[in-house]
């Protein structure tokens, strides 16, 4: 194995060791060297490089290393890419079943970003352009994307006034919005969760109120089931 390949392999071994759930507080240089089979100086240099690039971070009190913010950011992008790939058939199933537009969205600060959208052939429907942004505050997708946020986080995003509505939706496991975002538009959304239970996306259906309002509660249950299925893929 050439030196470059060996260094890369050692770095990957270090990251895998730090991902061990049995070591939530992280690992020191000596413990890591024992685990990956390298000497202390090699592992120390590897850690310095990984720390410089944000893949690991060091606790200033214990001096133990743990996985860093950049690695979690990459993991989130992988999950997002997987959702984009897996979502279309789920959305098309909702469109066939309900006859209305269905969307997959994620949170971007205080806004909702649409990643995938499927629409029926109906003349009047509620499309959401891919890459389009809508407010977190008054949309069904926004409500469920805020399920994991505490009061301080909601306030920092200017959503303190929406806290009761978000809490009510959280207790139901889904959100329904009637004409809050746009006159004549109704929608229902449910959270898509990762393996830890964290909300990573929202699945929602939206439609004109005159055609969909009486079916909204029933539709919400279908969206919950579809979101749960997408969470397990």
pLDDT at 121: 76
Q: Are residues 112 and 62 in the same domain?
A: no
Q: State the pLDDT confidence band at 202, using cuts at 50, 70 and 90.
A: very high
Last residue of a domain, one of 16, 47, 67: 67
- Is residue 226 over pLDDT 70? yes
For 179, left (φ over 0), alpha (ψ -120 to 50), or beta?
A: left
Average pLDDT over the chain reads 88
Average pLDDT of the residues in 87-114: 91
pLDDT at 78: 63
- Greater confidence, 228 or 60? 228
Q: Are residues 143 and 46 in the same domain?
A: no
Q: Which of 143, 147, 148, 200 lies closest to 177, judged by CA?
A: 143
Q: Are residues 116 and 97 in the same domain?
A: yes
Q: Are residues 134 and 173 in the same domain?
A: yes
pLDDT at 162: 94
CA–CA distances in Å: residue 159 to residues 109, 138, 149, 153: 11, 10, 10, 8
pLDDT digits (tens, 9 = 90+) for 35-63: 988 789 999 999 999 998 888 999 888 99
pLDDT at 53: 87
Q: Are residues 205 and 102 in the same domain?
A: yes
Q: Are residues 104 and 63 in the same domain?
A: no
The pTM (predicted TM-score) of the whole model is 0.67
Q: Are residues 98 and 151 in the same domain?
A: yes
Last residue of a domain, one of 67, 99, 123: 67
Q: Alpha helix locations (H) across the chain? A: 3-18, 29-36, 40-52, 69-98, 140-145, 151-156, 163-172, 209-212, 216-231
Number of domains in the chain: 2
Q: What is the CATH number of the domain that holds 125?
A: 3.30.450.40
pLDDT digits (tens, 9 = 90+) for 171-180: 999 999 999 9
Q: Are residues 101 and 181 in the same domain?
A: yes
Q: How many residues are present in the chain?
A: 233
Average pLDDT of the residues in 161-169: 95
Q: Are residues 97 and 210 in the same domain?
A: yes
- Is residue 127 over pLDDT 70? no
Number of Cβ within a 10 Å radius of residue 157: 17
Q: Are residues 32 and 58 in the same domain?
A: yes
Q: Are residues 81 and 171 in the same domain?
A: yes
Q: State the pLDDT confidence band at 223, using cuts at 50, 70 and 90.
A: very high
The percent of residues above 70 in pLDDT, for the chain, comes to: 91
Q: Which of 189, 196, 198, 202 lies closest to 230, judged by CA?
A: 202
Q: State the pLDDT confidence band at 21, using cuts at 50, 70 and 90.
A: confident
Last residue of a domain, one of 67, 87, 117: 67
Cβ 145 vs Cβ 105: under 8 Å = yes
Q: What is the CATH number of the domain that holds 16?
A: 1.10.10.10
Q: Are residues 117 and 160 in the same domain?
A: yes
Range of the domain at 98: 75-231
pLDDT at 98: 93
Q: State the pLDDT confidence band at 33, using cuts at 50, 70 and 90.
A: very high
């Amino acid at each position: 194995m050439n030196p470059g390949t060996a260094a890369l392999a050692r770095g990957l071994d270090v990251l895998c060791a730090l991902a061990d759930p049995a070591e939530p507080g992280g690992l020191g240089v000596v413990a890591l060297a024992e685990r990956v089979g390298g000497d202390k100086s090699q592992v120390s240099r590897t850690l310095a490089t990984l720390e410089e690039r944000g893949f690991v971070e060091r606790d200033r009190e214990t001096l133990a290393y743990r996985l860093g913010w950049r690695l979690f950011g990459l993991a989130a992008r992988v999950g997002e890419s997987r959702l984009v790939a897996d979502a279309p058939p789920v959305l098309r199933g909702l469109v066939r079943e309900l006859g209305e537009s269905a969307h997959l969205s994620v949170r971007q600060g205080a806004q909702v970003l649409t990643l995938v959208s499927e629409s029926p052939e109906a003349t009047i429907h509620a499309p959401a352009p891919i890459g389009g942004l809508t407010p977190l505050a008054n949309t069904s997708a926004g409500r469920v994307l805020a399920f994991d946020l505490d009061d301080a986080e909601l306030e920092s995003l200017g959503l303190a006034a929406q806290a009761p509505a978000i809490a009510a939706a959280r207790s139901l496991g889904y959100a329904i919005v009637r004409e809050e975002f746009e006159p004549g538009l109704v929608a229902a959304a449910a959270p898509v969760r990762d393996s830890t239970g964290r909300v990573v996306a929202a699945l929602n259906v939206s439609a004109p109120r005159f055609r969909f309002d009486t079916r909204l509660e029933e539709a919400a249950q279908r969206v919950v089931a579809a979101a749960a299925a997408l969470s397990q893929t």
